[in-house]
Amino acid sequence: MPVENFKNSQGLVNKLLRRFHSESRMIYRAPGLDSLFKKNYELLEKFIQHHQEKQAPRIQELIDYAEGANHTILEGEQRRKEEDMSDVRAVHNFGKVISNFKRGYLVGIPIQVEYMDEDEESEVDQVLDKIAKENDFYNLNRSLVLDMSRTGRAFEIQYFNKKEKLVVKRLDPTCTFAIYENNLDSEQICGIYYYSPDPFNQDDLYIDVYAADKVYHLVRDKEGIHKLEDDPDNDFKAEQIHGFEFPQITEHKNNDASMGDYESELSLFDLYDAAQSDTANYMADLADAILALFGDMTFPDDIDTAEKQIEYMKTMRKARFMHLSPPKNAEGEESGNVDAKYLYKQYDVAGTEAYKSRLEKNIHEFTSTPDMNDEKFSGNNSGEAMKYKLIGLDQERVSTQALFEKGLRQRYRLISNIYPKIDTENGGVFSDFDIAKLKITFTPNLPKSDSEIVKLIKEIYPMISDETAFKLLEKVTGVKPSEEKRRLADEEPDTFEPRLPVRTEDNNAEEITETDEAREILEGQE
């Protein structure tokens, strides 16, 4: 853990033992793109070195805590002072539970993206759906939210593959970062992705700088940072114009501080690991407790050395038999009683279990994650009751959702800029694209009863439009309103019957059973 000096309000300098460096979540800023390239890429080199030394270790440790590699409990070759005693290391993967719950709650139900123009059968929607399916946006979004929950940040990139197809994919946050303008606008200057061409040699790095108009391919070796050479044979250029009009790398933040969901509670994870490990060690030590003999062990005449006596006692222990004689005094007379028992540390079961329960409760409380094993949480609770129990997590979800939506809008802004240039047949639909008309809908993944939703639609249908009713019904059927209307229109007239109560002039719902009468009323509503 780094020790840092901290000057308090009285001007006194205190030393703080931090888990992560105070600059481990620092936002990188620069006057402009040119400033990164001056003096043989001096500023760019500082950013990369700082990210490797200060930021990447924090990110990797947070990922480790979500993969069952908790650092504190696994440190050192020997955790216990007694080298001959049991040294169990129990790791508890709270990080995985918290991140998976957050991901499932936020994007367990796919994000709905609609372009709100006058045409119900929007061509923009059709193209966006096609791109989303080709790039599997559902799993991409889940991966990004998982990174955000674990490390506080996530990154995605858009580029063209060898088949000239648009690709949108996740980037590793341990070797990716963004640089922003050093002013109030704080616009993104570029995105940096660096990697080693040889996984066994970290000295050399390839560095890709994705700016608003170009991507620069650089290399860092013993001579410093310099451009890669053009390779006409492989159609490779050190500088390439990409046409996205914005940096191709988009950063997504979990919150304003770019903190992971369990970052501030790692010490509680460590305490719980230690408590459970000590309990396991106690149970193992109890099985290997020391046998104390009060009296004289009786040995045969041929057992005349210490080594032979130890082996003889092991044999008696296996046979569950022990022969003791009363001890003798100085005169050779028997005195005292014989006894044999195991020596072990006393264990406060109630106190220890209460301590571990309190730690577990604090972990769930401070991370706003419900304990699914809590009997009070499960059971026949209604949706509203569940919402109250998730209110803490829901407050954090709203913040994460707003920031993630901002990143998603940037994704579709890049798509709208580049698609007309790569698909002349369908790209024209983005000629009048307005990002403000893009509606992004998140649906929290809560347990729900389909029958309750259908019942609700029937009750409020006289007061809402058909479009609203079909949108509510989409939560049950998974079918978009426009598609549901098309399916209804394609039904054979002889078998057509209304699916919902029909509104009448007095705004009351009335069940219609006769097909002709139902069709008559529906035509009248149109």
Contact 249, 208 (CB under 8 A): no
Determine contact, residues 219/228, Cβ cutoff 8 Å: yes
Helical packing angle, 123-135 and 137-151, nearest 10° = 60
Q: What count of other Cβ atoms lies within 10 Å of the Cβ of residue 370?
A: 19
Question: Is residue 313 located within the same domain as residue 190?
Answer: no
Does 365 map to a domain?
Answer: no
Q: Where among 343, 367, 384 does a domain terminate? A: 343
Q: How many of the other CB atoms lie within 10 Å of CB of 292?
A: 10
Which residues in the chain come in under a pLDDT of 50? 496, 505, 507-526
Element (H, E) at 290: strand 290-294
pLDDT of residue 248: 96
- Least Cα distance to 201 among 174, 219, 176, 178 occurs for 219
Co-location of 179 and 316 in the same domain = no
For residue 303, the one-letter residue type is I
Do both 160 and 214 map to the same domain?
A: yes
Both 256 and 331 in one domain: the answer is no
**Same-domain status, 301 and 258:** no
Q: Is residue 192 part of a domain?
A: yes
Residue 272 lies in a domain: no
Q: What is the largest CA-CA distance in the chain?
A: 121
Question: Do 56 and 174 belong together in one domain?
Answer: yes
Name the 3-class secondary structure at 509: strand
Question: How far apart, in whole angstroms, are the C-alpha atoms of residue 180 and residue 426?
Answer: 33
Last residue of a domain, which of 262, 278, 308? 262
Provide the CA 359 distance to its chain's centre, in angstroms.
Answer: 22
Nearest to 259 by CA among 407, 151, 145, 394: 151
State the DSSP code for 214: E
Q: How many CA atoms lie within 13 A of 322 on its CB side?
A: 18
Please say which residue of 280, 309, 343 terminates a domain.
343
User: Do residues 231 and 309 both lie within one domain?
Assistant: no
6 lies in some domain: no
Which residues, including other chains, have CB under 8 Å from residue 34's CB and lie 6 or more apart?
Answer: none
> Which CA distances in Å does 336 have to 31, 315, 332?
90, 26, 12
* Same domain (yes/no): 235, 302: no
Q: Do both 243 and 322 map to the same domain?
A: no
375: tokens are 């009997």
- What are the DSSP calls for 416-462, one per residue? HHHHHHH-TTTGGGGTT--GGGEEEE--------HHHHHHHHHHHGG
Is 119 contained in some domain? yes
In a domain, 350, yes or no: no
To the question of pTM greater than 0.85 for the whole model, the response is no
Identify the helix (H) or strand (E) that includes residue 398.
helix 391-422
SS3 266: helix
Q: What is the pLDDT of residue 287?
A: 61
Look at residue 343 in the predicted model and tell me its pLDDT. Answer: 66
CB 79 within 8 A of CB 98: no
Q: What is the pLDDT of residue 10?
A: 80
- What distance in Å separates the CA atoms of residue 150 and residue 99, rounded to the nearest whole number? 6
Closest CA to 92 of 266, 237, 224, 251: 266
Residues 6+ apart with CB under 8 A from 499: 488
Task: Please write the tens of the pLDDT for every residue from 361-370.
Answer: 999 989 988 8
Query: Whose CA is closest to 54, among 30, 27, 15?
Result: 27
The residue segments making up the domain with residue 482 are 449-526
Q: Which of 251, 250, 213, 123 shows the shortest CA–CA distance to 418?
A: 213
Name the residue among 256, 269, 271 with its Cα closest to residue 96: 269
Q: 208 pairs with which residues across the strands?
A: 193, 217
Same domain, 220 and 85: yes
- Joined together, the tokens standing for residue 314 give 């092991």
Residue 513 contacts residue 466 (beta carbons within 8 Å): no
Q: How many domains does the chain have?
A: 3
CB 442, CB 106: distance < 8 Å:
yes
Assess contact for 467 and 485: CB atoms under 8 A. no
pLDDT value of residue 525: 42
Question: Is there a domain that residue 278 lies in?
Answer: no
Query: Taking the CA atoms of the chain, what radius of gyration do you get in angstroms?
Result: 34
Q: How many CB atoms lie within 10 A of CB 44?
A: 26
Do 307 and 251 have their domain in common?
Answer: no
Per the domain annotation, does 206 fall within a domain? Answer: yes
Q: Are residues 196 and 296 in the same domain?
A: no
> In b/e form, how buried is each residue of 381-404, taking b as 16+ CB within 10 angstroms?
eeeeeeeeebeebbebbeebbebb
- Closest C-alpha among 288, 294, 295 to residue 344: 288
- What token pair was written down for 493? 């007239």
Retrieve residue 439's tokens: 């509606």
The CA-CA-CA angle for residues 428, 213, 413, to 5°, reads 45
Query: Over the stretch 89-105, which tens digit does the pLDDT of each residue have?
Result: 999 999 999 999 999 99
Pairing outcome for strands 188-195 and 205-210 = antiparallel
| CA torsion through residues 352, 355, 357, 363, sign | negative
Rounded Cα gap, residues 520 and 518, in angstroms: 5
Query: Which residues lie closer than 8 Å to 399 by C-beta, 6 or more apart?
Result: 255, 256
H or E element at residue 415: helix 391-422
The rounded distance, in Å, linking the Cα atoms of 124 and 114 is 9
